[in-house]
Chain A
């Protein structure tokens, strides 16, 4: 009530010259939102996303899949921007960046496409690719994940072998990150080399959390082709390196005396051979 009252007063008496600017901005921001389709998720699964997950220094964070049977949005590293979360004193122990929007994977099963958003250093990159077709082998092994009975399946994807546990109790062919294509929801999947894992944490169906329903794929970031997108970390590192070297020199450092190396864990995708076919 107060808002509209003040809006009215300010527009009416003080802001006439600025009214049109405000109008333009408001309509611009609205049209921007309209272009982002609402997901209308029917469920929400929270995973624990672990890298180096069999090591002591495992880095874990919550990741969320919002889904319906046409589309799903997987996101993590979402927080108050900009931020670098450090798992110890430095990034050798593992660290990851977050921002307000987070890292996103939007699967569209009708268009067979993935829309992606990644954070590299403090820059966000946005791109898209085709929905990967995974060859799954289903095995008779059964185990309980949470309260769900899950069946085992394996696949190979971009340089890593994965073991997944899916449940037919959630009859949607989807899963965390880029994984999908099983006759049910993937609740747990880990790479056989112990590097990456998405572990089940909780499920919410229907969604009680109103905020989750509002989350959409936001393409705020540098829009690049997929080839550039997968190089984002390196590009940002080179940028930071150049800046730091300039700082070093301006602080009186010897030319050539500056060295900066990258100590990052292996990326989850080791090759993109499937795209060449």
Chain B
């Protein structure tokens, strides 16, 4: 209003000036169509300056207001037309614009601006710049990853855990190349390849279901440095040592926007760690992509990193081992232009483990007379896995995924030994080929609705040559929440007690599942009807088990809350020579989940599950509040049957990180009780062939507690770890019928410290003190106590001289518990011109020393399975390494 008053005031103040203005009206036409043209810019110029301008209306008309028309010109401009310039005093009422013969073209101009963000956080994804994670000692991507707050890396297996959850994948520039075998990336790519590393929580393997399927999966994404791309990288290493020892390793890596490939060929017989073992044990597992969080049990993890120094507490066997190990792996992805992608993974792995086992009456009183058995074992494992995948995303909303997989597991075992003066000879051989074809179809109907069909559906054929059989496995339409029963049945196919006695045959396994997921206004409703038919036969026992289980599930979920109800009817018939029974019952299950993701990483997750199944009830509560507190509580009350894996655990993990300081405390408390399962579901293959003893029913209770302090400072390159822990293992009936109970209490304190001043000099050292008390009670009530004090220490150092022309690597380990032993491993690497030369020459020396009566001794406290590394008393090996 004030503006208008001002205007009126001005109007009365300068009437003469305004009256002097001329107004000219006109219309602009297209001279070709003779139609009026709208939005033509009409500018009045005085010299080179615009003094007035307007735009034509929808009928092409315009009005100009000006003074002194003599000195002015009018320019008409519109996209697609030639400019029309007219002197103002020659302006006609109608003006005609001519179309340009060719549209104007302007080339792109790009201004590059640089920004430096050390850490970015966006919802589920946190990005760490690699420079911040780099220490002078870092050589591989794994070394960078372990410096991400909340990450722990198991140095032996390469397993990476983020906030106590094992990650499911490491992507390279968003592309999944290795599936679960992420060690292929973390252990083979050099640290220089990384520009940034992203932690993606709630990762979904299916691109169309991002932010939709509410998984608990964590994946890492390696963003590669441009300098690393479009070049063949890696290394070629060859080594030969006395006597007839080899160490050969070739890694070839190529990363571009379209194609990515990682290839490994390695052979060694000096007991070096091989990736092939990890890959072959995991390669063939189906990528489970449940649409809803299926409450995967969080493994209680005592800081993850109890590596070799801490595995010294319970010992009653002595092994002398010699391994050789051959791995060939080729993995690639290729992105086609039209959102299609192809991926293939082929791995061949073979190892040969020869061991001599001496078992003693009293493990702490070793002498020549104490040996009761002497067993020479040769295990050969041979795996071949091949997988090819093709996926195509269409219009950002439809995806088809086709997969073909082939695997063959071969196992040969030969044992020859003397036990109580009797010669023992056992041999077994397993050949287990399998073919699967799978097709998944996903359609994102609109931003809140998705349809998934054939999720992980399979058509497979299984054969076992030496015993039984072929089995056919056809899954139709397994959609929405992945049916865990399907997976259990799959596992049963491989179930084979020590590979010799009997096997199960699945003659029919038809699963029909159909689901719809509908979302509107943040409320999703999912209903699911499925049937699960299975028939299991054990010809050796003349037993047939048939199972028919239709199930119905409803889920309701909003942004933060999920409630689901599942009703499953089971009809199980068990027919054998001695009995014939039929059970029928309905098993209800209720799940509730609360999940809140906040911008500043203070996520909260709570899962509650109550279930009643065939013979048991269980209740499960899992809460997860990362950064502040991550805790898992699980209570299961059950009666484990032969077919179910159930684990009784109660535990609490707490992880506290001090933000930017990189200081973390990780404490764990865990108690395992009840009867141990036959097979550990989580690491099936690893356990399977080595746990024959555990096929007996063991009562195995463990209490574990520990605390870890970890301080990481990238700039100073310092790592510090302090880990006091307490373990109490109570085991009963270790061997069926002997009735003995063991109660082993174990206290340990561990201290690791390392410093890397520069790449030329870094050193790390650590020590562990352990005290163990073992109380053994036999069936007559006699007790015997054994006390052990353990001490171990290690020193690792890298020292470089003459501008990296000469490098010393020293690794020293000393162990003392009754019998002291240790080893010294050193290597000298020489490079002529470090900045240009790609050749490295190495001399490796290894010596194992002891002051006890036995030359070599390795023990383990892990009942389930321990793959021992090779122990070779002395080694001198020359190697040449060519770095690409």
Binding site for B on A (CB under 8 A): 2-3, 6, 10, 14-15, 17-18, 21-22, 25-26, 28-29, 32, 42-43, 48, 60, 68-70, 79-89, 98, 109-110, 121-122, 138, 140, 142, 146-147, 151, 168-173, 182-184, 199, 201-206, 220, 243-244, 247, 251, 277
- Can you spell out 28 A-B residue pairs with CB atoms less than 8 angstroms apart? A2-B392, A2-B402, A18-B516, A22-B451, A29-B445, A42-B79, A42-B80, A69-B39, A81-B123, A82-B122, A82-B211, A83-B122, A85-B117, A89-B118, A109-B39, A110-B58, A138-B50, A151-B49, A168-B75, A171-B40, A172-B39, A183-B41, A183-B77, A201-B109, A202-B110, A204-B106, A206-B103, A243-B598
A183 partner residues in chain B, CB cutoff 8 A: 41-43, 50, 53, 77
Q: Give, as a whole number of angstroms, the nearest-CB distance from A243 to chain B.
A: 8
Contact A205 B445 (CB under 8 A): no
Contact B120 A86 (CB under 8 A): yes
Contact residue among B79, B451, B518, B660 (Cβ-Cβ distance under 8 Å from A171): B79
CA distance A80 to B106 in the complex (A): 30
Contact residue among B51, B55, B104 (Cβ-Cβ distance under 8 Å from A173): B55
B58 partner residues in chain A, CB cutoff 8 A: 110
A85 partner residues in chain B, CB cutoff 8 A: 117, 120, 122
B125 partner residues in chain A, CB cutoff 8 A: 80, 83
B439 partner residues in chain A, CB cutoff 8 A: 6
Size of B's binding interface in residues, CB under 8 A: 66
Mark out the residues of chain B between 167 and 224 whose CB falls within 8 Å of any chain A CB in the assembled complex: 210-211
Contact B394 A60 (CB under 8 A): no
Decide: A86 near B446, CB < 8 A? Known: A69-B79, A109-B39, A138-B49: no
A173 partner residues in chain B, CB cutoff 8 A: 39, 41, 55
Contact residue among B79, B103, B113 (Cβ-Cβ distance under 8 Å from A60): B113
A172 partner residues in chain B, CB cutoff 8 A: 39, 41, 79
**Residue B447 is within 8 A (CB to CB) of chain A in the complex:** yes
Contact B660 A32 (CB under 8 A): no
Contact A14 B446 (CB under 8 A): no
Decide: A122 near B123, CB < 8 A? Known: A6-B400, A14-B477, A183-B43: yes
A81 partner residues in chain B, CB cutoff 8 A: 123, 211
B446 partner residues in chain A, CB cutoff 8 A: 25, 28-29, 32
A83 partner residues in chain B, CB cutoff 8 A: 122-123, 125
Contact A140 B49 (CB under 8 A): yes
Contact residue among A6, A21, A88, A138 (Cβ-Cβ distance under 8 Å from B118): A88
CA distance A17 to B108 in the complex (A): 52
B211 partner residues in chain A, CB cutoff 8 A: 81-82
Decide: A147 near B109, CB < 8 A? Known: A10-B453, A183-B41: yes
**Residue B165 is within 8 A (CB to CB) of chain A in the complex:** no
Question: In the complex, which residue of chain A has the Cβ closest to the Cβ of B81?
Answer: A171
Residue interface mask B825-859, A partner, CB < 8 A = 1: 00000000000000000000000000000000000
Contact B111 A48 (CB under 8 A): yes
B39 partner residues in chain A, CB cutoff 8 A: 69-70, 109, 172-173
**Residue B884 is within 8 A (CB to CB) of chain A in the complex:** no
Residue interface mask B102-143, A partner, CB < 8 A = 1: 011110111101010111111101000000000000000000
Mark out the residues of chain B between 342 and 393 whose CB falls within 8 Å of any chain A CB in the assembled complex: 392
CA distance A205 to B106 in the complex (A): 6
Contact residue among A18, A147, A206 (Cβ-Cβ distance under 8 Å from B105): A206
Question: In the complex, which residue of chain B has the Cβ closest to the Cβ of A86?
Answer: B120
CA distance A89 to B128 in the complex (A): 11
**Could you list 6 further interchain pairs (A-B, Cβ under 8 angstroms) beyond the known A201-B110, A204-B108?**
A15-B514, A22-B445, A79-B122, A82-B122, A88-B117, A201-B109
Question: In the complex, which residue of chain B has the Cβ closest to the Cβ of A204?
Answer: B108
**Residue B15 is within 8 A (CB to CB) of chain A in the complex:** no
Contact B115 A60 (CB under 8 A): yes
Contact B122 A168 (CB under 8 A): no
Mark out the residues of chain B between 494 and 553 whose CB falls within 8 Å of any chain A CB in the assembled complex: 514, 516, 518
A14 partner residues in chain B, CB cutoff 8 A: 453, 476-477, 514
Q: Give, as a whole number of angstroms, the nearest-CB distance from B734 to chain A.
A: 44
CA distance A203 to B477 in the complex (A): 49
CA distance A14 to B514 in the complex (A): 9
A169 partner residues in chain B, CB cutoff 8 A: 104
Q: Which 6 A-B pairs have the closest CB atoms?
A: A83-B122, A171-B77, A183-B53, A29-B446, A69-B39, A25-B445
**Residue B698 is within 8 A (CB to CB) of chain A in the complex:** no
Contact residue among B40, B49, B111 (Cβ-Cβ distance under 8 Å from A202): B111
CA distance A18 to B449 in the complex (A): 14
B398 partner residues in chain A, CB cutoff 8 A: 3
**Residue B779 is within 8 A (CB to CB) of chain A in the complex:** no
B49 partner residues in chain A, CB cutoff 8 A: 138, 140, 151
Contact residue among A10, A89, A122, A170 (Cβ-Cβ distance under 8 Å from B660): A89
Mark out the residues of chain B between 1 and 44 whose CB falls within 8 Å of any chain A CB in the assembled complex: 1, 3, 38-43
A203 partner residues in chain B, CB cutoff 8 A: 106, 108-109
Contact B392 A3 (CB under 8 A): yes
**Residue B604 is within 8 A (CB to CB) of chain A in the complex:** yes
Contact A205 B453 (CB under 8 A): no
A147 partner residues in chain B, CB cutoff 8 A: 106, 109
**Residue B628 is within 8 A (CB to CB) of chain A in the complex:** yes
Mark out the residues of chain B between 429 and 469 whose CB falls within 8 Å of any chain A CB in the assembled complex: 439, 441, 445-447, 449, 451, 453
Contact B445 A26 (CB under 8 A): yes
CA distance A277 to B2 in the complex (A): 9
Contact B48 A140 (CB under 8 A): yes
Contact A18 B514 (CB under 8 A): yes
Contact residue among A3, A82, A88, A220 (Cβ-Cβ distance under 8 Å from B394): A3
CA distance A168 to B210 in the complex (A): 45
Q: Give, as a whole number of angstroms, the nearest-CB distance from B53 to chain A.
A: 4
Contact A86 B121 (CB under 8 A): yes
A109 partner residues in chain B, CB cutoff 8 A: 39
Mark out the residues of chain B between 587 and 630 whose CB falls within 8 Å of any chain A CB in the assembled complex: 596, 598-599, 602, 604, 628
Question: In the complex, which residue of chain A has the Cβ closest to the Cβ of B340?
Answer: A2
A142 partner residues in chain B, CB cutoff 8 A: 48
Contact residue among B1, B113, B514 (Cβ-Cβ distance under 8 Å from A277): B1
Question: In the complex, which residue of chain A has the Cβ closest to the Cβ of B83?
Answer: A171
Contact A247 B604 (CB under 8 A): yes
B518 partner residues in chain A, CB cutoff 8 A: 21
Q: Give, as a whole number of angstroms, the nearest-CB distance from A209 to chain B.
A: 10
Contact residue among B110, B121, B449 (Cβ-Cβ distance under 8 Å from A84): B121
Contact residue among A28, A89, A168 (Cβ-Cβ distance under 8 Å from B119): A89
